[in-house]
Homo-oligomer: A and B are copies of this chain.
Amino acid sequence: MTHSKYNRRNFIRTGATAGLGLTLLPYAWATPQQKEKIKIGFIGVGLRGQNHLELALKRTDVEVVAICDIQQVMLDTSIDMFKKANKTLPKQFKDNPYAYRDLLKIKEIDAVIISTPWEWHYTMCMEAMQAGKYVGCEVITGITINEMHELVKTSEVTGKPLMMLENVCYRRDVLAVLQMVRKNMFGEIIHLQGGYQHDLREVKFNDGKQPYGGGVQFGATGFSEAQWRTAHSVLRNGDLYPTHGIGPLAMMININRGNRFVSLTSFASKARGLHNYIVDKAGEQHPNAKVNFKLGDVVTTMIKCANEETILLTHDTSLPRPYSLGFRVQGAKGIWMDLNNSIYLEGTSPQAHRWEPAKPYLENNDHPLWKKYGADATGAGHGGMDFFVLHAFVESVKRQTQTPLDVYDAVTWSAITPLSEKSIAMGGQLVDFPDFTNGQWVNRKNKFALDDSY
């Protein structure tokens, strides 16, 4: 019985990988192809791509050999960055939206970094993996559930990792809290909260010249993100930007690694913020005052996990409010919240029922990555976390190993958007969460940020 069971499982596993023509890349498994220096191509060098480019140009283990964009101004700004950094100028690809295909044909390129509008991520990720490149893609790796499944299949078939560049996974306080979770300081994790609460009105609207504010233009007459991002607020009602919240939380409870998301439900409030902004700035008569924004101002999503934790996510980007990702990590022995920068740990905190400042705990549990690279990260975007997410990607390519955030993470986190849209469209009905690992979550282990390497 035991024998035949073993054989059967062995058969299935061999059969599966044989069918795909490969074995999956292991984590942290140095191969003979290990590289000292890698060649990267950038697909999309708008403002976000330039953030990554600036960091890449500082590294001695990276050569940026090609850049691609459809806007000349973005290419020009990028070329200036190369000159300032005294780096060899890259090949440029432009002229049409599919110019990236020529970039992908360059055989010497090891990896691409994709920083384009959301609706391009899926196609570019697919073609990049098929071209044999490692893929680092900005957040949201697809729009539909079907795309998520295709990305997984393609990564498995090609053996090429897809890493979603979710920088908040590397936020200093978030990594310190991850350390505390792993030291069992909060006890068994019970409930988590996070989200994206960021007044983006001056991102979604501008004057067509500057990236932030100054007008109520978007789409063809807007500039930078307003050109493409705002359309999603017009047409879609769901948690459009879940990954900053869910990424760090997923890692704390080992999602896709002994745990998984099982079901989800979302509620959306009325939509007022974006319309009000247009009317306030440009009056009732402005043509954009007639736009009907479908995105509810506050979208609240609840997720139930296989190990019975609950997660609450909030998406709140259209109202006047201070920035907050709203993290809450709560276990059987204590709780951390970022809004009040406070912690309570039973038996450790001096007064029962009283918060104490989180700061000493965060400092005492500073992650090895931050201890080692904190100085390098200084000045990098978003409080330094951009350094770490690029570092992890580059190190994975150099080692020719799996990325610490993998394709299963990318699609599981991104899938929250279409699932929340579906739930909201049905008035808040419960929806099942797909298992993108096809059952492998039972055996997979969490290897994210285990030490100071990457």
Contacts and interface: CB of A to CB of B under 8 A. Distances in A.
A428 B302 contact: yes
Given A190-B270, A307-B270, A340-B340, A322 B353 contact: yes
A87 to B, nearest CB: 35
A298 B329 CA distance: 12
B190 A298 contact: yes
A302 B428 CA distance: 9
A334 B302 CA distance: 24
Give chain A's interface secondary structure class: loop
A232 interface: no
Interface in A148-192: 187-188, 190-191
Contact of A310 (B267, B272, B339): B267
Interface string A254-285: 00000000010101111011001000000000
A304 interface: yes
A287 to B, nearest CB: 21
Contact of A272 (B190, B345, B430): B190
A354 interface: yes
Interface string A343-359: 01110000001110000
A319 interface: yes
Interface in A293-344: 296-298, 300, 302, 304, 307-310, 312, 316, 319-323, 330-335, 337, 339-340, 342, 344
A304 B428 contact: yes
Given A298-B191, A300-B310, A339-B340, A321 B330 contact: yes
A272 B354 CA distance: 21
A404 B180 CA distance: 48
A383 interface: no
B263 A428 contact: yes
